[in-house]
Structure 1
Amino acid sequence: MVHLLREVGLDFVGAAPVRHVFARETTAPPDAVYTALAEDVPGWTRWFAAVTLARPLDGGARREIRLKGGTRFEETVLAAERPEVYAYRVDLTNVPGSRTIVEEWRLSPSGTGTRVQWTFAVDGTAPFRTAVRLGRAGLARSFRGAVVSLDRRLTSAAS
């Protein structure tokens, strides 16, 4: 069953009832990381292990994402500010209990590389919020693995 989620803006990231914030350093420069996040949407399948399909919609204003296990999202891009922030809101999903999901990727220079910060902000039913809280460690592992894989991909492409 598909669920239509609440339309919110980027300010939801700071106000969400459940927020997970993760950060990791890369050796790749911010512009390269931003390009991989915001402009090479189909490329997500090559560095984010959980993503099985990623495609831009409406000229990049929206995205379709599918994850291992069958989770599906249709998203609206809320911010695409090179090379600092890329954020999107989930509009449709098959995740029961979800009411609002916004993800924000913030990039900042760190030495010759990039500090990548990902915020996963959500609201939903009490069981959904509890599940997301309990899933923090899994989200952290997924984020770490994705950023390490992305960094390897970007630094090997630059060589």
Structure 2
Amino acid sequence: MARRWYPIEEADDSLFASAPLYHARSVEVPFSPEETWAALVGDGVSSWTKGMRQLTWTSPRPFGVGTTREIEMNSGLVLRERFYRWEEGTRKTFAAVEGTSPIFRRLVEDYVVEPSGAGSRFSWRWAAELNRPYSFVGGALDRFFFAPTGRSHIDGLPAHMAARRRDPLS
């Protein structure tokens, strides 16, 4: 059976300032910025994130502005995303463009990797606006799903990279 896709409205950086749902988080990563970036654009991006089942890059390498991917959540929700910013090695930002549920009106996510005394600093921002009727329960969805998923994605990166260094086949 074919999936039904629901359009998600175009969004850009302005959503970070106006979204009803917003998260920002940073973590020190004891690896070089190049290694951290490689983990964030690799094929196993979803492997350490609770709530994510699979991430599939749908554009060929090398990636850049216009790159697309699909992400499937454990809930069965699949999002199609398009990158509108790609600064190789340092920053990438996407907007969701379609989903298999009409939950999102607009959604953007931003990743920044910078050198730091510990190796690198990974900073992340996520902003979303939900469609009705989901917007009426947005606080609960945020508290029990969006926020924990974001925390596990950001906070889990250093441990994932350390495990990969110990066992490159993991």
TM-score tier by shorter-chain length is 0.7 to 0.9
Structure 2 distance, partners of 1:50, 1:82, is 27
Structure 1's 132 and 29: CA in aligned 2 closer, same or farther, altered over 3 A? farther
Higher mean displacement: 138-147 or 29-38: 138-147
Aligned mate of 1:63, from 69, 94, 100: 69
Larger Rg: 2
SS at match of 1:8: coil
Aligned mate of 1:131, from 125, 130, 140: 140
Aligned to 1:142: 152
Structure 2 distance, partners of 1:131, 1:63, is 27
- The alpha carbon displacement at 1:108 in A equals 1.5
Retained in 2: the 8 A contact 1:54–1:66?
A: yes
Structure 1's 154 and 88: CA in aligned 2 closer, same or farther, altered over 3 A? farther
After TM superposition, the score normalised by the length of structure 2 is: 0.77
Higher mean displacement: 70-79 or 90-99: 90-99
Retained in 2: the 8 A contact 1:48–1:150?
A: no
Say yes or no: does 1:20 pair with 2:23.
yes
Structure 1 distance, partners of 2:92, 2:110, is 6
After TM superposition, the score normalised by the length of structure 1 is: 0.81
Q: Which sections of structure 1, spanning at least 5 residues, go unmatched?
A: none
Matched AA of 1:111? G
Q: Which runs of 4+ in 1 moved over 3 A?
A: 153-157
Structure 2 distance, partners of 1:73, 1:62, is 10
Higher mean displacement: 50-59 or 101-110: 50-59
- The alpha carbon displacement at 1:128 in A equals 5.2
SS at match of 1:58: coil
Q: Which sections of structure 2, spanning at least 5 residues, go unmatched?
A: none
More helix by share: 1
Retained in 2: the 8 A contact 1:76–1:89?
A: yes
Aligned-residue CA RMSD (Å): 2.4
Q: Describe how 1:1-159 pairs up with structure 2 within 5 A.
A: 1-38=4-41, 40=42, 42-59=43-60, 60=63, 61-125=67-131, 126-127=135-136, 129-135=138-144, 137-153=147-163, 155-156=165-166, 157=168
How many percent of aligned residue pairs carry the same amino acid? 20
